[in-house]
């Protein structure tokens, strides 16, 4: 059993390396290329089902990815544009979560709005590395690049806030908007100061 997981893991790593090289050769941002290639590979009949423990992702994969994105961030520019970055990081995540919550609860039978917010909190933040990688290939002003890269680093925090309150609402069966705002506003005003 472990032998088959090792073989599958090596095959996945080799596939990713080959896809990144092909993406670089074709001058396509590798996150876009990997998503498209992953979608195509997932549609192949007979592909094995691969399941990764979420704790493993948070412990091993996510920290180096965020560290690499943060390493190349200009913190002076980040501080200069912090109001725009934080307003986008929180505003866009909350807006996306609201849209996902109401859309999914209207489409999926039995899914409550609170569960929809939970789904929205998980799906709303874009990937920091993908944003940085895609922006390298596009000529846009440095201000916009800084704001988009900074937003992609901060939006995980706002997503976790949405997730926390949505999970509390799902578990308790009630959501008190005033309490959520009271817990959230001091942190946001400190971040924008």
Q: Residue 110: what pLDDT?
A: 86
Residue 152 · residue 132 · CB < 8 Å: yes
Q: Residue 126: what pLDDT?
A: 65
pLDDT band, very low/low/confident/very high, at 164 (cuts 50, 70, 90) = confident
Whole-structure pTM value = 0.63
Residue closest to 19 by CA, chosen among 44, 43, 39 = 39
Percent of the chain beyond pLDDT 70?
A: 81
pLDDT digits (tens, 9 = 90+) for 65-113: 777 777 777 788 888 888 888 888 888 888 888 888 889 888 988 888 8
Distance, CA of 191 to CA of 183 (rounded, Å):
14
Q: Which residues of 125-153 are buried (b: 16+ CB within 10 A; e: fewer)?
A: bbbbbbbbbbbeeeeeeeeebbbbbbbbb
Q: Where are the domains of the chain?
A: 2-51, 75-192
pLDDT band, very low/low/confident/very high, at 128 (cuts 50, 70, 90) = low
Tokens of 67: 């560290």
């Amino acid at each position: 059993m472990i032998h088959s997981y090792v073989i599958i893991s090596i095959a996945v790593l080799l596939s990713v390396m080959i896809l990144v090289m092909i993406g670089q050769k074709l001058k396509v941002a590798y996150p876009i290329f990997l998503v498209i290639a992953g979608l195509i590979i997932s549609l192949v009949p007979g592909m094995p089902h691969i399941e990764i423990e979420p704790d493993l992702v948070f412990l091993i994969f996510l920290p180096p990815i965020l560290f690499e994105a943060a390493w190349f961030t200009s913190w002076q520019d980040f501080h200069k544009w912090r109001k725009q970055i934080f307003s986008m990081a929180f505003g866009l995540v909350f807006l996306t979560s609201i849209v996902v919550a109401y859309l999914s609860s209207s489409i999926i039978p039995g899914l409550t709005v609170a569960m929809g917010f939970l789904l929205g909190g998980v799906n709303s933040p874009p990937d920091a590395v993908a944003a940085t990688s895609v922006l390298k290939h596009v000529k846009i002003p440095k201000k916009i690049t800084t704001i988009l890269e900074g937003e992609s680093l901060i939006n995980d925090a706002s997503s976790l806030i949405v997730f926390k309150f949505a999970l509390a609402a799902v578990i308790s069966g009630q959501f008190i908007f005033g309490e959520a705002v009271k817990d959230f506003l001091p942190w946001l005003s400190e971040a924008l100061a």
